[in-house]
Each structure stands twice: as C-alpha cells, then as structure tokens.
Amino acid sequence: MRKKKISERRLVYAMLAVLMLAGCGGKDTARESEKVTLSLMMPQSHYKEFFKEEIGRFEAEYSQYHIEVLRIPDNQWIEVTKAKAATGELTDLVRIDKGLMEDIGTGKFVEMGEKESWYKRVKEEQLENKKIGGKLYGLPVGSTSSVGLIYNKDVFEKLRLDVPGSMEEFKQVCRVLKDEGYTPLYASDKDSWTSAVAFSSSASQTMTDEVYEKFKSGEALWNNEEYRTILEEFAALRSEEYTNSDYMRATYDSAVDAVADGKAVMYMSGQFFINDVRKINPKIDLAMVPSPYCSGILTVKNGEGMFAVSAKSDHIEEAKVFLEWFSAPENMNEFNAGWNHMPVFKDQEMEMADWQQNLYDNYILQGKTEPEINERFSGIDMSEFWSDQQKMYMGQMSADEVLENWDQSYAKQLSAGR
C-alpha cells in the first residue's frame, strides 16, 4: 500500500513538473527534451552520502536533469557565497541558512509563496523561522536538531559511569575511561569546524536572547572570563591526554571510525554524527546529552536551512521542479533522518530514537534550549575564529589571544554590515 501511494505521488509530481515547464512558453517547453544541468552549491560537510543518493534518484526519475554540486570548504563558505552573490555568480540552487541570506539580501533569491504546491504542507513553526520580512525565499529543509556530547552507552553501563552534569564530573569520567584503556574524548582538530563545536555548544548554553542582542549591537565583548574559561577547559583535555594524541591530524571521518570501533567513547558534535557512526557499526548504542559545561541547557539548531533559487538563474522553473520533487514526504524523510532532524512538513511520518525522544521531551518541549551561536551569527564569517581555536590547541595561541583577535574581526564585520 505504501509503495502504491509513493508511486502515485511521484506521478503527480512528474505531471506538475511537465505543466510547470509547459506553462513557461515554447522556449522552455523545448527544453523538456534537452539535458538541463542545475548547479547547486553547499558547504562541503553537507554533501553526505544519503544526499548523494537522493540526487541520484532524482536524476534517474528525471533523466533530462543533471545536478552539478559545487562543494565549498566549510571555513570558506560564507566568504565565497557572499562573493558569488555580489558578482552575480550564484549557482542555480544554494543550500543556505536564513542568517546568511539576510546578510546577502533577499533580492538575490526567488521568492516562494502559496503558489508553490508544497507551501501549505510546511509545518507552521518551520515556515515562520525561515521567513524574512514575512516572506519565504526557499524550500525549507532544515529542522530542529541538537549539538552536544555523544557517548557510548554500553561502555558507560559497563563501567557504571553516570552521564556528566558538569565539567568536573566530565573530567572524572575522562579519568576513569583513560585508566580503562579507552580514548575518553575524540578530538578531530584538523577539521576546524569540528574543533569549534566544544566552545560553540558550551558558550551557546549561556547566550540568552538578551546577551545575543548585546553582541548584535556591539555592546558585549567575546574576550570575557567565561569564554576564556571554556576555551581553556577544553584545551586542557588535550594537554592532560584525555583525547587522542593525534588530535591535530584527526578528521571528522576518523572520529566516526574511532567511535564506531569502540576505541573512543565520547565526541562533541551534532546529532548527525550518530547516524554516520551507525552506518559503520549498526549495533553500537550511542546517545546524546547537553554539553557538560551547563548540562541543564541543550544547544540546538533551529533549522534555518533552505534550498534557495538564485534570482539570476537561467533555470528558475527547472530548479522549482527539483524543489517540488525534494519536498515529497519520502524524500524529506530520508533527508531529515540522515541529519537526525525532526520533520519539516506536516505529512512526514518519522519516528524518533529513544535518545532523541529524551532530548525532545526533557529539553525542547520544556524550553530548556538555546540556539547554537553559529546559527545565531550565521551571517558572520567565523572561520578565522575556528582557525584560531585550532592554533590554540596546538599551543600557538592563548585563549586570551584567540578571543582578542575574534573581538577585532567581529567588530569589523559588524561595522561593515551596518
């Protein structure tokens, strides 16, 4: 029965695609029989295997289409996207967050409204948190997800360890794990975006809307005692050998391997990491809890991600065909499940894992959350801040120097944006 429903739904989308193209006049109708290449740019870390498979499935169903993906290194993403927008060189489709879109300007993108057949299917909260000035400029694809401490439940139960609720308890857990021959916390600092997670998820726990407004207005400074302490605490874990010794050569992929084979017990990342590990070791039992810096608050990404269409694209209607296809419940299910996100559309049916349900019930529903700072400041290029944290972990900079540099860079970007 389900296969029949999916087949019927795909037939409807195919018919809609033909009608959309036919409605554009003879020129675009002729394109139906031609090969259409749609370019899509996104941060490199977002080009995951499940997304590749979805693109392959789209191309199989729409043989006249080809999706050409342009992957931008994460630490260059904001700078490159802004540059391409300024020079009119955006790709046909862009995977973009609301904050960066606001910074670039909505005029660079095609407005989406009730004329799109998928518009009324979007959950109200997912629609509202992506609108700019009351209008939508892309297909909503990102939803609520968590960032924090991921741990191996089996090892914790075997050693009778309690989930750490403070940095002191966290260090005690690390000591026990090290004595038992495990790598307590895996660090993958060669990938700068991963080395920033510990600070970003911890600092986010203390950044209320009031504090954020002070940063936004330029009243607050990053170089403060609390943020220095956070950086120093996580740097100490490396110097005290509670992480893998090769942390400066280690990558996200090696973190997946180390946790999957049971050598490493904990890792700080987004919840998508759990899916990536389980692809290698389906039997492993992983869970996530808030960063131990302030365990009563869960760091979340509210899902401001969209697939937007460039206003200067020569293939606007064709790009909308891809968005229409992607919005189908079975395609969004695969995408959201791949990221361990919650559903974006009303007609999606997705079950949450026990650990995810726990976070949802005890933190998200209770309002015990704060947005992750990279999402709060998504229009700000934080790549220099990430790189300086790498240098600090190598012993080349102090926490004070990292934050002092970032205060200067942040102030320049804030001033340029006004």
3-state secondary structure 372-383: CHHHHCCCCCCH
pLDDT digits (tens, 9 = 90+) for 286-321: 999 999 999 899 999 888 899 999 999 999 999 999
How confident is the model at residue 1, as a pLDDT? 41
DSSP letters, 131-165, are -BTTBB-SEE----EEEEEEEEHHHHHHTTPPPP-
How confident is the model at residue 353, as a pLDDT? 87
Closest CA to 266 of 191, 370, 360, 169: 169
What is the reported pTM? Answer: 0.77
pLDDT digits (tens, 9 = 90+) for 52-72: 999 999 999 999 999 999 999
How confident is the model at residue 23, as a pLDDT? 46
Per-residue DSSP letter, 342: P
Helices (H), 180-303: 192-195, 197-206, 209-217, 225-239, 252-260, 272-280
How confident is the model at residue 104, as a pLDDT? 94
How confident is the model at residue 33, as a pLDDT? 56
Beta carbons of 58 and 324 less than 8 angstroms apart:
no
CB within 8 A of 212, min separation 6: which ones?
376
Q: Kindly give the confidence (pLDDT) of every residue in the chain, 418 residues in length, as a single tens digit, with 9 standing for 90 and above.
A: 444 444 455 555 555 554 444 444 433 443 445 899 999 999 999 999 999 999 999 999 999 999 999 999 988 999 999 999 999 999 999 999 998 999 899 999 999 999 999 999 999 989 998 999 999 999 999 988 899 999 999 999 999 999 999 999 999 999 999 999 999 999 999 998 899 999 999 999 999 999 999 999 999 999 999 999 999 999 999 999 999 999 999 999 999 999 999 999 999 999 999 999 999 999 999 999 999 999 899 999 888 899 999 999 999 999 999 999 999 999 999 999 888 888 999 999 988 889 988 998 999 889 999 999 988 887 788 989 999 999 999 899 999 999 999 999 999 999 887 6
Tell me the C-alpha distance between 309 and 321, whole Å.
11
Instruction: Determine the CATH number of domain 2-143+303-339.
Output: 3.40.190.10
Angle between helices 316-326 and 49-61 (to 10 degrees): 120
Tell me the C-alpha distance between 183 and 265, whole Å.
6
Closest CA to 276 of 25, 40, 45: 45
User: Does the fold of domain 145-301+354-416 match that of domain 2-143+303-339?
Assistant: yes
Closest CA to 300 of 255, 356, 344: 356
Closest CA to 170 of 84, 91, 89, 234: 234
Whose tokens are 């349900």? That residue is 357
Instruction: Determine the CATH number of domain 145-301+354-416.
Output: 3.40.190.10
Query: Per-domain residue ranges for the chain?
Result: 2-143+303-339, 145-301+354-416
Paired sense of beta strands 286-289 and 145-152, if any = antiparallel
